[in-house]
Amino acid sequence: NAGVTQTPKFRVLKTGQSMTLLCAQDMNHEYMYWYRQDPGMGLRLIHYSVGEGTTAKGEVPDGYNVSRLKKQNFLLGLESAAPSQTSVYFCASTNGAASSYNEQFFGPGTRLTVL
Amino acid sequence: AQSVTQLGSHVSVSEGALVLLRCNYSSSVPPYLFWYVQYPNQGLQLLLKYTTGATLVKGINGFEAEFKKSETSFHLTKPSAHMSDAAEYFCAVSVRGGSYIPTFGRGTSLIVHP
């Protein structure tokens, strides 16, 4: 099993450009999440999904959109990148349908720099 | 709503010394508690978790944590630090019966000196 994978690993954008981050998991998990990690801020939830075709806003959703067309994939889009979106982005998944005591499985992260 | 406070953004210890990373939580219902570790340039991985039952939980790499309801704490300890323990550690809490959206602390960076 590959677990949770993220594409790309690194990316540099110019202000105003758009991009999509791809997250894939092969564990048949129901729940998927996108977080951003900034120094001193810990992990902040951007959007999440409780199943195929569903999405919901997290703590910091502005400037991002997501889609969950297939159960195994969760896409994070930046329509018009801003320097404030420079961060490390993590995708995670869990078998949340079972119980909230299940741990999350994280991808390796995507380092995004917006100039 | 639940919350997590990790005391100390950085903790520095000598190799072989006791490691103690502090986590206090707030929850209106019985919580599930987690410790995750993040090695440099990697994603988070589970160290240990408390769900029900025994309050002393053992995890990977010699770490353990004790759930203390009266103190609303879930501190992480390891008797003897190793250089390879240098990493970022996150405490997280989720609540029973709710949708699975855990709350993470801001993290504690463990520095291990030779």
Q: Beta-strand (E) ranges in chain B?
A: 3-7, 10-14, 19-26, 31-38, 44-50, 56-58, 64-68, 73-78, 87-95, 103-104, 108-113
Give me the mean pLDDT over the A23-43 stretch.
Answer: 93
Encoded amino acid at B41, one letter: N
By Cβ distance, the residue of B90, B94, B101 closest to A42 is: B90
Tens-digit pLDDT profile for residues A70-79:
999 999 999 9
Residue B99 scores a pLDDT above 80: no
8 Å CB contact of B100 and A100: yes
Whether A14 contacts A115, CB under 8 Å:
yes
Give me the mean pLDDT over the B46-53 stretch.
Answer: 92
Report the residue of chain A nearest B50, measured CA to CA: A101
Residue A98 scores a pLDDT above 60: no
8 Å CB contact of A41 and B106: yes
Close Cβ partners of A39 (under 8 Å, ≥ 6 residues apart): none
Over chain B, what is the mean pLDDT? 93
By Cβ distance, the residue of B94, B97, B104 closest to A43 is: B104
Q: Number of Cβ pairs closer than 8 Å across A and B?
A: 58
